[in-house]
Amino acid sequence: MMNDQHSDFKHTENAPLRICFGFVMLVFITILSSLRAYAQDTKDSTLHEFKIEGKQNASNDARVNIFAPGLKVTTIDSATLQQYQMQSMASLLAQQVPVFVKSYGFNQLATLNFRGSSAAQSAVLWNGIPIQNAAMGIADVSLIPVMLMSRANIVYGSSSALWGSGNVGGALLLENEAAIFGSSKTTLAASAGTGSFGQYMASFKAKIVRKKFYFSTSIFGQNAENNFRYTTQSGAHRSLQNDHLLSGSLMLHAAVLDTPSILLNAYLWLQQYDREIPPALFEPSSTKRQKDMGVRFLTDWQKPLGKGTYYGKLAIIYDKINYSDEQVLLNTESKTRSVFLEMGWRKQFRNLGQLMVFAPCQFSWMSNGAENEDTALQQRAALVAAWEIKALRQKLNISTSVRGEIIDNEDILLPGINASYRLTRWLSLRANAQRTYRAPSLLERYSFPGGNLNLKPEQGWSEDAGYTVNAKIGRLTIFHDLAVFNRDIHDWIYWLGGTIWTPHNISEVNSRGLETENKLTYTIGKWKVHAGLNTCYVLATTTSSYIYNDGSIGKQIPYTPRYNGQLSIGVGWKGISLNYNHTYTGYRFTTTDESSWMLPYSTGNVQLMYDKPIRNHSCQIIASCNNIWNQQYQLVDQRPMPGINWLVGLRVE
């Protein structure tokens, strides 16, 4: 039974949602009504197009561009985003980035593992707003279509002070295109594709640019049977059953430039996924099915004042998951709601660097869909200060940050410092140290049955350091990055059980290892040749345990490969680009005592893109062939992955 504090919300839980959605509709009606006025304001046809950000940065977030000089940040370039625009973010990350994506199958649940962290210790942010499911504390990256996003950055290591507690292992930062204002222009784009196992997908994009108004919409739909053939434990060949997927996503972005300096944005992201869950290798059949529905609304504003900038954000997130299994007459529904607020101020001082102060707050509710349900609540409020300064003739860049946060009744202080030093024009050094903290999720504490009200938060320290070589010698560009890391987490949360699973604080875990990113690019005329190699070595072992003689001391955390890497070779000529990508994933233990494991596997993948301008149109042909060597493998025990499969699509803008 929930405590009284949580029970008080059971009669009023829908009231905040009604108010929030009413506010959403009011904001969009206000902004869209401005279109009629601004669309007519096209007299100044000589007005030059401009973006609010004065220079091209890796992100629209100042925390990435200014206050993270010592953090390892990997930016996925626009060409790669275009190559994967008909696939999910899970596929892109698994093939192109040194991060382990734990997938339960083709188009099934996929979560992130940064440097030996758990899925709940990895953050996913959309335009600066955390979008992990408020109940589970994790984000399913298989539900994020690449075509909805225009920027993607990966922040490795802990950055809890800047992006919030819970960001222990790393963060995926997703962003939409920044609003553009200028002379009147309308852009339309449509694409369609098909692939193996009954895959069909289509998308549509529209963008309207006016002097003081911007509007864009993106629509993506997908249907797939996913009935690929696999080999059973007895050696028989069968087609996967009960694995149909039907999904749809809609993204709206409206922006108004109220004055030359005040910008108001509003985003609305709707999506629904209806997917069947196939049987595991030990199951004769399956009737499991899961329906995910999400509504995410975000509005933000910013106003420069002198050398400073004020900004504010309001986000409302609603997630509903319906899970059913006809074989056991099970039908459950969970609903979560989150309201996120943030106010901030940033200013550049002449000789004292930059200062940023912001105050984020988040309120999350979880309910199980029953008529007389109890509602669990989690409240977070924080005050953050970050300061960045340059010294030694701009070669040394230091950023310190501190977050004071209250989660329910727990007070925590999360300090951090990171720095970089440009030793030469082509060599730079960096280092980062952060205190880490993750409060148990609503599901870990309040799920019935199985919740554990006595769970302690996970906490510890994280350190990493590295260097980057970025040099150009004639037509050859050399990029090499190396990072070493260490992280100690106390009271690691792990689920144990049989019929009923319950989370427990079981141990202290030490994660350490080494990552490298390497790329060579050679350009001659209209030809460009590149070769790249990413490697990752992770030791994530239990150093102490609360469970007597459990056999986990000194053993690798389950589903954390010691070795993984990606090799890529490609060539580009005029509008044609061809790339081969090879991935390797090492042994993964499935038990805490290393008594059971999964074999390593490799996959080969080919991507082809042809971009041909025809008059005032841009035509793209995109094709990919995944697992071209037809490797039989599993990412999660007893969950087969498909053999060779292909995808081809056409995009016209």
Residue ranges of domains in the chain, CATH in brackets? 4-652 (2.40.170.20)
**In which band, very low, low, confident or very high, does the pLDDT at 56 lie, cut at 50, 70 and 90?**
low
Total residues found in the chain within this entry: 653
> What pLDDT is stored for residue 304 in this prediction?
87
What does the angle CA 652 – CA 645 – CA 193 come to, to the nearest 5 degrees? 20
Q: Is the dihedral of CA 70, 61, 59, 435 positive or negative?
A: positive
Tokens of 204: 């549509």
Distance between CA atoms of residues 115 and 170, nearest Å? 8
> What pLDDT is stored for residue 37 in this prediction?
40
**Residue written as tokens 């992201």?**
269
> What pLDDT is stored for residue 168 in this prediction?
93
Closest CA to 424 of 391, 379, 482, 471: 471
Q: What is the mean pLDDT of residues 225-237?
A: 85
Distance between CA atoms of residues 66 and 54, nearest Å? 14
Q: Whole-model pTM?
A: 0.89
Distance between CA atoms of residues 228 and 165, nearest Å? 40
Q: How many CB atoms lie under 10 A from the CB of residue 15? A: 10
Distances (CA, A) of 447 to 328, 336, 435, 469, 615: 20, 13, 28, 48, 59
Distances (CA, A) of 160 to 115, 226, 354: 15, 38, 20
**In which band, very low, low, confident or very high, does the pLDDT at 306 lie, cut at 50, 70 and 90?**
confident
Q: Is the preceding peptide bond at 449 cis, omega within 30 degrees of 0?
A: yes
**In which band, very low, low, confident or very high, does the pLDDT at 517 lie, cut at 50, 70 and 90?**
very high
Between 485 and 56, the more confident residue is 485
Distance between CA atoms of residues 535 and 459, nearest Å? 27
**In which band, very low, low, confident or very high, does the pLDDT at 548 lie, cut at 50, 70 and 90?**
confident
**In which band, very low, low, confident or very high, does the pLDDT at 40 lie, cut at 50, 70 and 90?**
very low
Q: Which of 165-169, 261-265, 421-425 has the highest mean pLDDT?
A: 421-425
Decide if pLDDT at 283 tops 70. Answer: yes
Is the separation of the CB atoms in 647 and 195 below 8 Å? yes
Average pLDDT for the chain: 88
**Residue written as tokens 């593992």?**
113
* 254: three-class secondary structure by DSSP: strand
Decide if pLDDT at 366 tops 50. Answer: yes
Amino acid at 627: N
Q: What is the pLDDT of residues 91-132, one digit of tens each?
A: 999 999 889 999 998 889 999 999 999 999 999 999 999 999
> What pLDDT is stored for residue 57 in this prediction?
73
Is the separation of the CB atoms in 153 and 99 below 8 Å? no
Q: Of all residues in the chain, what percent carry a pLDDT higher than 70?
A: 90
Helix spans in 447-520 (H):
none
